[in-house]
């Protein structure tokens, strides 16, 4: 099994397009030979994650997250190694055996079983919907057509758990996996039951369109909570999941705008009406994690909540996490008796123009804060206006941009009829002024954000290493002719050169992905930090190789001469062997100086 497993891993890693895979979760922008994106593993406001297609890796130089495509999916989706391997293999068109297990990789079989349990439940719920005429009639009454129901895979949970248990037994998935997934509950005495029995089911998908949880709506006329959601599970966390994000991501990415609603029905109705950039929170207030997810794709967010007091309170609660990400917030205004779903129905069958008009007239932040205060501007006393301005300043402090905070406060003061006033430009809460990391100031040597420290005199050998990795076919002849590895001052360069030349000698070609597999953990960040160049004139590359190699050798000769002088106590009156070495090095250095002139070093 180990041999076939290794074959599978190598095939998947070679076939996986890491730019395409990471790009499904995070917008990427090309920067030289690499791609840059906002890191999803920490509160990153500026792109600090590098994706290197030639090496098949990603690396964030702010939080340290890094690895290959499988590792990225594993961390982002919060699944075990086996499940991440399956997801990446599926994108690469490689079949994975159903019984694959990676116990030696520390994989969680429990997580893999929960994935299967969710998929089995989804199939049963979708099949059962067709057998429940009452539920089908209800969906029709709510104005949802068959195409929309099929698109969102809306289903129905049967009253009995028998069908789930039968299907689980046939698929050899233990009932404990369904309990862990929050699909089944267990009563006293060991009796199991479907937690969603008799409910209209909305499956919740991750960005890979893999079902990770469910929301269930109670039918009209029955007692109980209107909605229940999957509890926290190895796959599902309501603070990190937005319903419909898998469907809306592309539209959000293209438009740079997202619409947030509070209910499943609100979102589904908007989608059917033609608004395809909407997402919904799943039974919780908008969290910082939600805002970070959206910020990767959207620069502007519309908070489209109910028109009543509760809806305005929900907008208030959502402002802090969104403003902290620097997102522009707009608030479409609905009548007090309306919600997004009812607004769509009132304007159907063609609700899109009405929705577009509503969004075009959406309030900016100052306008919402004035309306939320509850009184007209004309009826506000000077003292009340002052309170409103101070309250707005508290809200706006969460935005990291001084300019944005100032602009909103000045706009608010103007709307209130107050004259402009100096703004207290304090640092927003929860933020720190970033300090520059110590990096070598050599343009094009390291990727943006890399924090490696390089001694100035060692820069030419780093540049030589960069050329070897970027243009191995051109560089190998000169690199291989060096006096082994003695010329290099930096041990990191020396070790990387050694591994690279060994791989070239064995394979006669250089695969950066294979090289990465051979490089020890201590050098992985070094390798990821180097900017791998592309293209370029071969003659110019050869000239650079010659120049860097001569500088490296010249520096080595000077250091060796200094070492020999110290060994001889400053005198050349010593044994013949040492004198021979000393004068041999001296002649080589003179030859360099005659050919190139002084190189700027002090021997």
CA nearest 147: which of 304, 271, 20? 271
pLDDT-wise least confident of 46-50, 260-264, 286-290, 482-486: 482-486
CB 397 within 8 A of CB 417: no
Are the C-beta atoms of residues 472 and 545 closer than 8 Å to each other? no
pLDDT tens digit string along 368-411? 999 998 888 888 899 989 989 999 999 998 888 888 999 999 99
Whole-angstrom Cα distance, residue 409 to residue 366?
A: 7
Kindly report the pTM of this predicted structure: 0.68
- Please report, to the nearest 10 degrees, the dihedral formed by the alpha carbons of residues 493, 498, 501, 503 taken in order: -120
pLDDT of 506 reads 74
Residue with the bigger pLDDT between 208 and 100: it is: 208
Lowest-pLDDT choice from 41-50, 402-411, 430-439, 494-503: 430-439
pLDDT at 422: 63
Q: Which candidate, 109, 87, 97, places its Cα nearest to that of 176?
A: 109
Examine residue 305 and state whether it is found in any structural domain, yes or no: yes
Strand, coil or helix: 94:
coil
Please indicate whether residue 322 or residue 233 has the higher confidence score (pLDDT).
322
Structure tokens at 13: 């890693």
Instruction: State whether 100 and 113 are in the same domain.
Output: no
The answer to whether position 133 is within a domain reads yes
Q: Are residues 90 and 131 in the same domain?
A: no
Question: What pLDDT is attached to residue 490?
Answer: 83
Does residue 180 sit in the same domain as residue 262?
A: no
Distances (CA, A) of 553 to 151, 391, 497, 505, 588: 66, 66, 15, 23, 10
If phi > 0 it is left, if psi is from -120 to 50 it is alpha, else beta; for residue 281 that is beta
How much is the CA Rg of the chain, to the nearest whole Å? 31
Q: Would you state the pLDDT for residue 582?
A: 63
- Is residue 431 one of the residues assigned to a domain? no
Name the least confident of 45-59, 138-152, 196-210, 549-563. Answer: 549-563
Residue 583's pLDDT band (cuts 50, 70, 90): low
Average of pLDDT values for 471-475?
Answer: 83
Domain that holds residue 478: 456-596
Asked whether residue 17 is domain-assigned, the answer is yes
Residue 581 exposure: Cα atoms within 13 Å on the Cβ side: 14
For the cut 90, the answer to whether the pLDDT of residue 420 exceeds it is no
> Does residue 520 surpass a pLDDT of 50?
yes
Q: Please report the pLDDT score of residue 352 as a whole number.
A: 97
* pLDDT value of position 599: 38
Span of 63-67, 359-363, 549-553 with lowest mean pLDDT = 549-553
- Average pLDDT of the residues in 139-151: 96
Asked if the model's pLDDT at residue 558 lies above 60, the reply is yes
Q: Which CATH number fits the domain that encloses residue 589?
A: 1.10.860
Nearest-angstrom CA–CA distance, 561 and 586: 7
Note whether residue 327 is domain-resident: yes
Pair (100, 117) in one structural domain: no
Tell me which of 467 and 502 has the higher pLDDT. Answer: 467
Boundary residue ending a domain (73, 105, 137): 105
Separation of alpha carbons 184 and 178, rounded Å: 5
In this structure, are 247 and 214 located in the same domain?
no
Q: What is the pLDDT confidence band of residue 55, given thresholds at 50, 70 and 90?
A: confident
414 or 508, which is more confident: 414
Q: Look up residue 56 and give its two tokens.
A: 């098949």
Residue 436 has pLDDT above 70, yes or no: no
Residue 32 clears pLDDT 50, i.e. is over it = yes
Residues 98 and 114 in one domain: no
Which segment, 147-151, 386-390, 394-398, 524-528, is predicted with the most confidence on average?
Answer: 147-151
| Helix, strand or coil, per DSSP, at residue 201 | strand
Does residue 263 sit in the same domain as residue 318? yes
Per the CB < 8 A criterion, the answer to whether 89 and 96 are in contact is yes
What CATH number should be reported for the domain holding residue 51?
3.90.580.10
Residue 567 and residue 467 in one domain? yes
500 & 548 share domain: yes
CA distances from 291 to 200, 318, 512 (A): 28, 9, 36
**Would residue 440 count as lying in a domain?**
no
Of residues 214, 368, 359, the one with CA closest to residue 273:
359
pLDDT confidence of residue 4: 58
Among 229, 260, 294, identify where a domain stops: 229
If pLDDT is split at 50, 70 and 90, which confidence band does 2 have? very low
pLDDT, the chain, mean: 83
**CATH number for the domain harbouring residue 188:** 3.90.980.10
What integer is the mean pLDDT of 173-197?
A: 90
Contacts of 553-556 with C-beta under 8 Å, sequence gap 24+, read 553/482, 553/487, 553/588, 553/592, 554/589, 554/592, 554/596, 554/599, 554/601, 555/457, 555/460, 555/487, 555/489, 555/599, 555/601, 556/486, 556/487, 556/489
Integer CA distances (angstroms), 196 to 51, 166, 185, 192, 226, in order: 42, 17, 9, 12, 11
Q: How many domains in the chain?
A: 5
| pLDDT higher than 70, residue 197 | yes
Are 160 and 68 in the same domain? no
Q: Across residues 462-487, what is the average pLDDT? A: 74
Domain termination site, one of 78, 105, 132: 105
405 burial type by CB count under 10 A (0-12 exposed, 13-18 middle, 19+ buried): buried
Q: Is residue 601 part of a domain?
A: no
How far apart are alpha carbons 126 and 148 in whole angstroms? Answer: 13
46 has a pLDDT exceeding 80: no
Identify whether residues 59 and 39 lie together within a single domain.
yes
User: Percent of the chain having pLDDT more than 70?
Assistant: 85
Residue 203 shares a structural domain with residue 286: no
Cis amide prior to 443 (ω within 30 degrees): no
Q: If you average pLDDT over residues 537-559, what whole number do you get?
A: 82
More confident call, 11 vs 404:
404
Apex 244 CA angle, 203 and 395, nearest 5:
125
Lowest mean pLDDT among 98-107, 242-251, 365-374: 98-107
- Kindly state the average pLDDT of the residues 63-84: 86
Question: Mean pLDDT across the stretch 510-532?
Answer: 84
- pLDDT value of residue 424: 53
pLDDT at 431 over 60: no
Residues composing the chain = 603
Question: Quick check: 448 pLDDT over 80?
Answer: no
Q: Is residue 58 part of a domain?
A: yes
Better-scored residue on pLDDT, 340 or 508:
340
Rounded distance, CA 470 to CA 54, Å?
10
């Amino acid at each position: 099994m180990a041999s076939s497993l290794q074959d599978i891993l190598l095939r998947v890693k070679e076939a996986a397009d890491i730019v395409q895979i990471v790009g499904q979760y995070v917008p990427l922008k090309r920067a030289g030979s690499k791609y840059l994106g906002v890191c999803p593993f920490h509160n990153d406001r500026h792109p600090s994650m590098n994706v290197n297609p030639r090496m098949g890796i990603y690396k964030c130089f702010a939080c340290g997250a890094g690895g290959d495509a499988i590792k990225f999916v594993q961390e982002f989706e919060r699944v075990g190694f086996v499940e991440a391997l399956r997801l990446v293999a599926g994108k690469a068109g490689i079949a994975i055996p159903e019984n694959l297990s990676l116990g030696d990789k520390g994989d969680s079989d429990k997580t893999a079983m929960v994935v299967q349990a969710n998929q089995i439940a989804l199939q049963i719920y979708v099949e059962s919907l067709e057998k429940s005429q009452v539920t089908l009639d209800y969906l029709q009454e709510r104005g949802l057509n068959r195409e929309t129901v099929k698109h969102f895979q809306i289903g129905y949970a049967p009253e009995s758990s028998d069908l789930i248990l039968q299907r689980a037994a046939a698929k050899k998935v233990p009932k404990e996996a369904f309990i862990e997934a929050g699909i089944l509950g267990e009563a006293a005495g060991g009796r199991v039951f479907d937690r969603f029995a008799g409910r209209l089911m909305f499956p919740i998908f991750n960005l890979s369109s893999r079902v990770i949880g469910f929301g269930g709506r109670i039918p009209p006329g029955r007692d109980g909570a209107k909605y229940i959601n999957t509890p926290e599970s190895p796959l599902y966390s309501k603070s990190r999941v937005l319903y419909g994000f898998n469907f809306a991501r592309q539209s959000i990415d293209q438009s740079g705008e997202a619409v947030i609603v509070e209910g499943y029905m609100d979102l589904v109705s908007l989608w059917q009406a033609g608004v395809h950039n909407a997402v919904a929170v799943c039974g919780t207030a908008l969290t910082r994690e939600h805002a970070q997810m959206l910020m990767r794709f959207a620069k502007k967010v519309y908070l489209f909540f109910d028109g009543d007091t509760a809806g305005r309170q929900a907008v208030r609660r959502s402002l802090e996490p969104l403003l902290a990400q620097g997102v522009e917030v707009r608030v479409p205004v609905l009548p007090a008796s309306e919600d997004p779903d009812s607004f769509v129905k009132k304007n159907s069958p063609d609700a899109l123009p009405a929705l577009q008009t509503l969004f075009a007239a959406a309030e900016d932040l100052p306008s919402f804060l004035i309306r939320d205060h509850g009184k007209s501007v004309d009826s506000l006393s000077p003292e009340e206006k002052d309170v409103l301005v101070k309250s707005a300043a508290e809200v706006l402090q969460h935005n990291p941009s001084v300019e944005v905070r100032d602009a909103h406060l000045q706009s608010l003061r103007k709307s209130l009829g107050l004259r402009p006033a100096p703004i207290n430009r304090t640092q927003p809460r929860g933020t720190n002024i970033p300090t520059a990391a110590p990096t070598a100031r050599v343009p094009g040597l390291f990727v943006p954000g890399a924090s490696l420290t390089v001694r100035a005199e060692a820069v030419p050998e780093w540049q030589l290493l960069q050329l070897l990795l970027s243009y191995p076919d051109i560089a190998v002849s000169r690199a291989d002719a060096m006096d082994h590895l003695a010329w290099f001052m930096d041990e990191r360069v020396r070790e990387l050169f050694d591994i690279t030349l060994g791989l070239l000698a064995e394979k006669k070609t250089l695969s950066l992905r294979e090289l990465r597999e051979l490089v020890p953990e201590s050098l992985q960040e070094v390798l990821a930090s180097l900017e791998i160049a592309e293209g370029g004139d071969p003659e110019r590359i050869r000239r650079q190789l010659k120049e860097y190699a001569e500088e490296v050798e010249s520096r080595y000769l000077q250091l060796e001469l200094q070492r020999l002088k110290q060994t001889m106590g400053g005198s050349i009156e010593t044994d013949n062997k040492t004198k021979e070495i000393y004068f041999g090095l001296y002649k080589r250095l003179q030859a360099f100086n005659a050919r190139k002139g002084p190189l700027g070093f002090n021997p």
